Amino acid sequence: DDSLNFFPVPWEGGYPGSDGNGCGASCQEVQEGGCRCETTVSESVAYSAMPSSVEDALANLFIGSTVTLDALTNDYTAETDSATGITIHKKSGGIDADAVFEIDEPLTGRTFLLKNVKSTVSVSGTPFKFRNSPHFVSLVPTMTDVRDAEYETDAILDHYFYRRNTAPFLAIRFIQRFGVSNPTPAFVTAVTDAFRSGEYKTSSESHIFGKGVYGDLEATAAAVLLHPESRSVVLDADPSSGQLREPLMKIISYMRNLEYAPAAPKDENYMVRFETNPGLEDRIGQMAHWYPTVFSFFLPEYVPSGRCTSGGMVSPEAMMIDMPKIIATLNGLYSLSKYGAEDKNNGFFSSSSPIGYLEYSNADATSAIVDDLATLLTAGRLNPENRDTIVAAYDQAVTDNGGDTSKGLDMAQQLIASSAEFHSTNIVKKDTANPDRSSESNSVGGAVTDYKAVVFLMFGGGCDSYNMLVPHSQCVRAGNETDLWEKYIEIRQQVALEQQSLRQINATGSGQDCDIFGIHPELSALQSLYNDGDALFVANAGVLTQPTDKANYRQDTVTNLFAHNTMQEEGKKVDPFEEFAGSGVMGRLTDVLHRNDVRTSAISIDSNTVALVGRPGESPSMNIISRNGLKEFNEDPTTTGEHMREAIESINSATTPDSGFMAETWSANMVQSLASNEELSLALASTISSVPFPDITLAEQLEMIAKLMQTAGTRGIDRDFFYLSTGGFDTHSQMKDNLQSRFMNVNPSIQAFSDELKAQGLWDSVVLVEVSDFARTLTPNSGDGTDHAWGGNYFVIGGQVKGGQIMGKYPSDITDGAPLNVGRGRIIPTTSWDHIWNGISQWVGVTADADLDEVLPNRGNFGDDLFTEADMFKTGGGTRERFLRDSNSD
């Protein structure tokens, strides 16, 4: 009775409590909501005649036979239906409860032995029933329970492995990793069929790969690599074909194709040692045996800005094509060509002297050398105009270096390493009529007045924010009802925080059920900012398509709920119906402001993000800056710096609309990155921090933002939009300890950031809003962790923030039967991201309804309930009363 384990079942004829039926005479209403009923389990014959099809049989038979196939052969009479291929084994000669169906499933090749029996659970005294009684395993271990747990584990693994979408899902992922980001349906189907059948035949059928077993990876790999779409040279000319190459693969192929060899003879202790501080994972975004999240290095559905967005093309590897990674990749490859494997001029390696060299050599004429390098490094895809540019640069380098042909070879290698043909598997078509590729300048000049900055801080993984903001005391109590603190203790169980450990804040006047709330004990900086009136909390916020309730939330919500990628992306986009596909909420803000002659800048720290992507051509593109600062590009050029830079830009000049999308993504970002790197380096050269920042990644990111804010005048920027993220919040186990560890990093970072901006006189010019994928289940799991949920609590800080309040409505009831609880403490949010961004948009100067509708295309679904500048900021005055929801309107 107290297990509180919930699971869906396929009810027939409704269920107790549905459609106003009440629980029924044989059921008892429970306080948490729902009905506790007496049930009976009965078995009956499933079929009195042969099933009409394999699909029909598998949809109705679920109970496996305990009789083996050998015993069936010896003791039963078998008959096979020629129309369906189903074999029935009869014990007594009839189609009765003793009969066993032998069914071959064509999709997976499995054979099922299923009893001709259906099990039905009926609610006593009612017409309500469902098929197949659930099997419960005791938590007290016995030999039988351990066996049953193993069986259940095998069953769920089989369910995942053999389900219909597993093969196509894996097919797309495999194809993407082996060369084609946007495979055709025919290609996906071929790989799917190979996975399911366990065989792949070559086009001439001269060879069959695989052993004919479902899930055979030999057959799957053969289908990926040998399918015509993988091997056709003709498809290289298709602008939507191919992919951007993975960062680490580019380095390894460069070393292999240019004949890397160790400086000293190999022995058993020899190995190539890449730089570790910072490592390749930070510099180029990828390193062997290291990945940032459970989703690996990049998201398979990532769509970069530019032509890929216009064409609806994904490019997962484009997540690594940003300014610091482009500069680091090129510097490392250049250093390898010029000096060998060492750390000179930002090389990839940790040694102060070369541990190896590229030993490629060629004594042919210049054009033949370039052709050979193009074959090795671009598989012969090098554009003819680019080839001519590299030939000329080779000869120029030889001349500039007194006839030294090795310098010409270095130059040719570096220029090919700069080309889109090296970084992608596309054909490049040059726009010879309009070759100039204009790069956007970050320095637009002019005096800056009323400067403002918005900082978007993502807590990646789903922060358990019901342990960040906790009901404490002076809570409403109706009669003998438990108050909100007691409900918190009851549902959070072993993951609840101790009341005496919480940092108390006064929420009087916020319209909440408690006047005193508690903040996590590690967040002293937030407590101080709240008490100083510079921080507010937004309660029970999250992804919402429209206001909804427990009965309608699934049909009312277009976002795929409880999934990291979809909910985090929607938190960045705030555009559930994709009215401005591929754009993010701050990107659209920059579009609108730029159109109204406000000078804007969009900068992400360390990573790419859709949050800062606007509509193509509307406003300056996003820049990405490393928290470690900017590195000089090509510090020691092989030839005169201007000559080499001109050659690099010529190789990556403008292309025609039918040029490869992936190649264009590289070139556009590379040219922009070189220009931005120079301008931002100059702007940051004179900045210093007034307060010490701790040696924490989040603190380093915030310090870089503080420095960039100092340069607003130099850059001529009126509105800065920044994005940064910190991970580790996916606390499926040991939530309390792991959350404490994360907050121990957050707190000193926030403290240093606020102290620095106050010292610089910029605290009143910034608002920082914290966002996460979702909150987590209020009830813990068996590993003392919490799982994916929905609505959560978030903070907003800044000198002009109208702090000392909790906006939105903290749920009045968080128990299992609460109106907002859809299971295990997954709370439906009552405040949307639109509410928060509406107020922030107004604060930065977007006030016209038409402009706000562009920034927040879905805001109309929330009527007059949206937060305004007056509600969120001191500059707006006003009152917050109308944003406080009735707890029972949830």
Query: At 665, which helix (H) or strand (E)?
Result: helix 661-684
Lowest-confidence region among 210-224, 355-369, 626-640 = 626-640
pLDDT of residue 618: 85
Q: What is the pLDDT of residues 47-98, one digit of tens each?
A: 999 999 999 999 999 999 989 888 998 889 999 999 999 999 999 888 999 9
- pLDDT by residue (tens digit) across 715-733? 999 999 999 999 999 999 9
DSSP secondary structure letter of residue 861:
G
pLDDT tens per residue, range 137-179: 776 778 787 888 888 899 899 999 999 999 999 999 999 999 8
Token couple for 750:
């926030």
More confident site: 296 or 775: 775
- The Cβ of residue 356 has, within 10 Å, a number of other Cβ atoms equal to 19
Inter-residue contact 450 to 715 (CB < 8 Å): no
pLDDT in tens, 608-631: 899 999 987 788 889 999 999 899
Q: Which amino acid is at 361?
A: S
pLDDT at 21: 59
Q: What is the mean pLDDT of residues 475-486?
A: 82
- Residue 416 CA to residue 432 CA, distance in Å, equals 20
User: How many Cβ atoms from other residues are within 10 Å of residue 433's Cβ?
Assistant: 7
Q: Which residues pair with 274 in a beta bridge?
A: 349
Q: Give the whole-angstrom CA distance, residue 571 versus residue 587.
A: 13
Give me the percent of the chain exceeding a pLDDT of 70.
94
Cα gap 26→37, rounded to integer Å: 6
More confident residue, 801 or 307: 801
Using alpha carbons only, how large is the chain's radius of gyration in Å? 32
Two tokens at 327?
């500069």
Identify any residues that bridge with 600 across adjacent strands, giving them in sequence order.
719
Question: Is 320 in contact with 297 (CB distance < 8 Å)?
Answer: yes
Q: Which of 13-27, 92-106, 480-494, 541-555 has the lowest mean pLDDT?
A: 13-27
pLDDT above 50: residue 877: no
Tell me what pLDDT residue 15 has: 81
pLDDT grade, residue 368 (50/70/90)? very high
SS3 per residue for 384-441: HHHHHHHHHHHHHHHHHCCCCHHHHHHHHHHHHHCCHHHHECCCCCECCCCCCCCCCC
522 phi/psi in degrees, rounded to 5 = -80, -10
Alpha helices in 401-523 (DSSP H): 405-417, 420-423, 484-492
Q: What is the distance in angstroms between the CA of the first residue and the CA of the last residue of the chain? A: 28
Starting at the edge strand found earlier in the chain, the sheet holding 129-131 runs 11-12, 129-131, 117-123, 39-45
Whole-angstrom distance, CA of residue 772 vs CA of residue 586: 16
**Residue 424 — very low, low, confident or very high, per pLDDT cuts 50/70/90?**
very high
∠ CA 82-88-89, rounded to 5°: 140
**Using an 8 Å Cβ cutoff, are 667 and 439 in contact?**
no
Task: Tell me the one-letter amino acid at 272.
Answer: V
Helix or strand holding residue 209 (H, E) = strand 208-209
| The pairing of beta strand 719-726 with beta strand 452-459 | parallel
**Environment class of residue 515 by beta-carbon count within 10 Å: exposed (0-12), middle (13-18) or buried (19+)?**
middle
Mean pLDDT (whole number) for 241-267: 91
- Pick the closest to residue 871 from 835, 847, 834 (CA basis): 835
Contact 790, 543 (CB under 8 A): yes
Judged against a pLDDT cut of 60, whether residue 445 lies above it is answered with no
Q: Kind and range of the H or E element at 708?
A: helix 697-710
According to DSSP, the residues that pair with 276 across neighbouring strands are: 279
Report the candidate in 248, 388, 408 with the shortest Cα–Cα distance to residue 332.
Answer: 248
**C-alpha dist (Å) from residue 529 to 749, 796, 797, 801:** 13, 10, 7, 10
What pLDDT was estimated at residue 3?
46
- Which range, of 55-69, 436-450, 665-679, averages the lowest pLDDT? 436-450
Task: Check pLDDT > 90 for residue 882.
Answer: no
pLDDT of residue 734: 97
Query: What confidence category does residue 575 fall into, taking pLDDT thresholds of 50, 70 and 90?
Result: very high
In the DSSP assignment, the letter for residue 873 is: B
Task: State how beta strands 766-772 and 452-459 pair.
Answer: parallel
User: What is the full DSSP assignment across 243-287?
Assistant: -BPPHHHHHHHHHHHTTEEESS---TT----B-BTTBHHHHTS-B
Mean of all residue pLDDT scores within the chain: 90
Nearest to 861 by CA among 501, 446, 575, 435: 575
The encoded tokens of residue 227 equal: 């399918």
Percentage helix, strand, coil, to 5, in the chain?
A: 40, 15, 45
Q: What percent of the chain has pLDDT over 90?
A: 71
The CB-side HSE value for 791 (13 A sphere, CA atoms) comes to 29
833's tokens: 């991201």
The contacts of residue 122 (CB under 8 Å, 6+ apart) are: 39, 40, 41, 42, 128, 129
pLDDT tens digits, 488-500: 999 999 999 999 9
The answer on pLDDT for 826 being more than 90 is yes
Q: Can you read off the two tokens belonging to residue 451?
A: 């400067």
Q: What is the pLDDT of residue 23?
A: 76
Range from 286-290, 328-332, 389-393, 595-599 carrying the lowest mean pLDDT: 286-290
Mean pLDDT, rounded, for 192-196 = 96
- Which of these ranges, 10-24, 32-46, 407-421, 424-438, has the smallest mean pLDDT? 10-24
Distance separating alpha carbons of residues 836 and 457, to the nearest angstrom: 14
DSSP 325: H
Residue 28: band (very low, low, confident or very high) from pLDDT cuts 50, 70, 90: confident
More confident of the two residues 113 and 145: 113
Q: Tell me which residue has tokens 């920034």.
A: 855
Supply φ then ψ for residue 174, to 5 degrees. -65, -45
Q: Are 561 and 773 in contact (CB under 8 A)?
A: no
Give the residue from 67, 121, 74 showing the smallest Cα distance to 99: 67
- Average pLDDT score over residue span 403-423: 96
**Three-state secondary-structure class, residue 851:** helix
The reported pLDDT for the residue numbered 296 is 83
Q: Write b or e for each residue in 210-230: b if 16 or more Cβ atoms lie within 10 A of its Cβ, otherwise e.
A: beeebbbeebbbbbbebbebb
pTM, entire model: 0.81
Is the pLDDT score of 278 beyond 90? no
Is residue 446 scored above 70 in pLDDT? no
